[in-house]
């Protein structure tokens, strides 16, 4: 590239000399001028006064027969600034394309130069910028704004897990209370969770429309709620099942879903509670038949295609169980909301407690399908 530019410059100079009746430049003359970095040598254009000497378009600073590579920081003695003023005489290419990023001024160290800490920080920034492009592969998982966010946590392989630990069938109150304890801990840890609903081995957590929790990033929200729930399940296991050692690792998966309207959110929660009732009624009948002597396959055959009225009659007629009298925790699941309560915050010098009103997660077993629950707790759907 340099050789081509030099040849072009020589050709233009040769034409200029010819038009002015000057002796053409020889290769030897060009060769002799290569040792000088000045703009125009008097020996090249002896017949022109200094004021009329044309300036070369490119400095003849390289030998035509063996062009030498130049470092980027080599100074160009004369560069035309005709292209948008990009360069001028005395400009360094290194100024246009610095070999290293500029560094900020730092307080002088003991030796008068930049401190070693500043130099290490600069090297760290350079190293980070080299690899930062990998962040472009991350997907944006920001959840829709202005929507309710529901994170549903579900146990993985809990049929085998419950069999391994000898859970009582069809419902083990100890295990259900442990799930409720985990939900309360999640609500304590994350104030943006407005309410939670759980049944069997699953729990749903509702975050408000206006939540900005972790930038509404689904991966952050789901992973943190699931990890908090799972860690609490392990930590509180012995408190709820003291006679049953934990033999396997409990695992839960999670997903986040957006619901744009209050009506959509209520329908979701109604769906989960209706599922609780259907599953509990079936499981109550199934395990009653199995405990009464039937095999699992025979019990499934008896219940296949039956309606709720048949199941209620079966329980009452054959096993003396009135389904309506079963605990609401089994039939309706658990709802966790925040309610005001007096809590002891400290004790006085005489030992008497100091009580303060606090909003604490409270477990209840209520019907959330009908309007009564929502009318009694309007703050749950408030903007």
Task: Indicate which CATH number applies to the domain containing 272.
Answer: 3.30.70.3000
93: nearest Cα among 106, 77, 110: 77
286 phi/psi in degrees, rounded to 5? -60, -50
How many Å is the maximal CA-CA distance in the chain?
129
pLDDT of 52: 52
Name the nearest CA neighbour of 301 among 290, 316, 315: 290
Q: Would you state the pLDDT for residue 310?
A: 96
* Contact criterion met (CB below 8 Å) for 9 and 58: yes
How far apart are alpha carbons 26 and 350 in whole angstroms?
Answer: 111
- 142 secondary structure, DSSP code: B
Kindly report the CA angle at 16 between 12 and 19, in degrees rounded to 5? 140
CA distance 73 to 27: 28
Write down the pLDDT at residue 353: 86
Q: Which domain holds residue 324?
A: 148-334
Q: Write down the pLDDT at residue 267.
A: 98
Alpha-carbon span 75 to 85, nearest angstrom: 17
Core vs surface per residue 113-147: b (16+ CB within 10 A) or e: ebeeebeeebeeeeeeeeeeeeeeeeeeeebeeeb
Q: Is residue 122 within 8 Å of 100, Cβ to Cβ?
A: no
Separation between Cα atoms, residue 173 and residue 332, nearest integer Å: 13
Nearest to 231 by CA among 218, 220, 246, 217: 246
In this prediction, the residues of the chain whose per-residue pLDDT falls under 50 are: 22-46, 48, 51, 58, 60-67, 71-106, 108-111
Look at residue 303 and tell me if it is in a domain. yes
CA distance 92 to 152: 62
Write down the pLDDT at residue 42.
Answer: 45
Residue 39 lies in a domain: no
Report how many domains make up the chain.
1
* Sequence-ordered list of residues with C-beta below 8 angstroms from that of 246, at least 6 positions apart, any chain: 165, 234, 237, 238
In a domain, 140, yes or no: no
- The pLDDT assigned to 297 comes to 97
Separation CA 30–CA 23 (nearest Å) = 13
User: The tokens 């472009």 sit on which residue?
Assistant: 136
Contact 56, 40 (CB under 8 A): yes
**Hey, which residues does 217 pair with through a beta bridge?**
142
105 contact partners, CB below 8 Å, separation of at least 6:
none
Instruction: Identify the pLDDT of residue 17.
Output: 56
pLDDT value of residue 284: 98
The answer to whether residue 75 sits within a structural domain is: no
The predicted pLDDT at position 114 comes to 57
Taking phi over 0 as left and psi of -120 to 50 as alpha, with beta for the rest, 293 belongs to left
Q: Is residue 347 part of a domain?
A: no
Question: Is residue 19, in this structure, part of any structural domain at all?
Answer: no
Q: Is 232 a domain residue? A: yes
pLDDT at 90: 41
Residue 138 lies in a domain: no
Closest to 255 in 3D by CA, of 231, 214, 276, 226? 226
What is the layout of strands, in order, in the sheet containing 202-207? 252-259, 148-155, 202-207, 193-199, 334-347, 353-364
Distance CA 268, CA 38 (A): 83
């Amino acid at each position: 590239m340099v050789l081509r530019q030099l040849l072009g410059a020589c050709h233009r100079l040769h034409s200029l000399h010819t038009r002015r009746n000057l002796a053409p430049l020889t290769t030897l003359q060009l060769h002799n001028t290569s040792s000088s970095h000045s703009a125009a040598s008097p020996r090249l254009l002896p017949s022109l006064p200094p004021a009329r000497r044309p300036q070369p378009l490119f400095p003849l600073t390289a030998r035509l027969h063996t062009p030498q590579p130049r470092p980027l920081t080599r100074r160009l003695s004369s560069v035309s600034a005709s292209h948008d003023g990009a360069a001028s005489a005395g400009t360094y290419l290194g100024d246009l394309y610095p070999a290293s990023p500029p560094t900020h001024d730092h307080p002088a160290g003991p030796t008068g130069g930049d401190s070693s800490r500043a130099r290490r920080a600069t090297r760290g920034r350079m190293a980070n910028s080299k690899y930062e492009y990998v962040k472009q592969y991350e997907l944006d998982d920001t959840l829709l704004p202005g929507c309710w966010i529901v994170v549903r946590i579900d146990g993985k392989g809990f049929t085998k897990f419950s069999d391994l630990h000898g859970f009582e069938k069809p419902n083990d109150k100890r295990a259900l209370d442990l799930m409720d304890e985990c939900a309360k801990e999640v609500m304590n840890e994350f104030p943006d969770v407005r309410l939670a609903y759980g049944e069997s081995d699953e729990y749903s957590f509702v975050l408000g429309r206006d939540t900005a929790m972790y930038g509404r990033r689904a991966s952050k929200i789901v992973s943190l709620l699931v990890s908090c729930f799972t860690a609490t399940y392990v930590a509180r296991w012995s408190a709820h099942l003291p006679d049953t050692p934990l033999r396997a690792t409990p695992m839960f998966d999670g997903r986040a879903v957006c619901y744009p309207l209050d009506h959509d959110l209520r329908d979701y929660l109604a769906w989960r509670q209706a599922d609780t009732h259907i599953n509990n009624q079936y499981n109550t009948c199934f395990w009653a038949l199995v405990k009464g002597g039937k095999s699992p396959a025979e019990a499934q055959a008896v219940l296949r295609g039956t309606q709720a009225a048949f199941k209620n009659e079966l329980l009452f007629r054959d096993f003396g169980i009135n389904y309506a009298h079963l605990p609401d925790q089994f039939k309706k699941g658990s709802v966790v909301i925040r309610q005001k309560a007096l809590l002891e915050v400290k004790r006085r010098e005489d030992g008497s407690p100091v009580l303060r009103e606090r909003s604490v997660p409270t477990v209840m077993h209520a019907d959330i399908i009908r309007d009564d629950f929502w009318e009694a707790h309007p703050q749950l759907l408030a903007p």
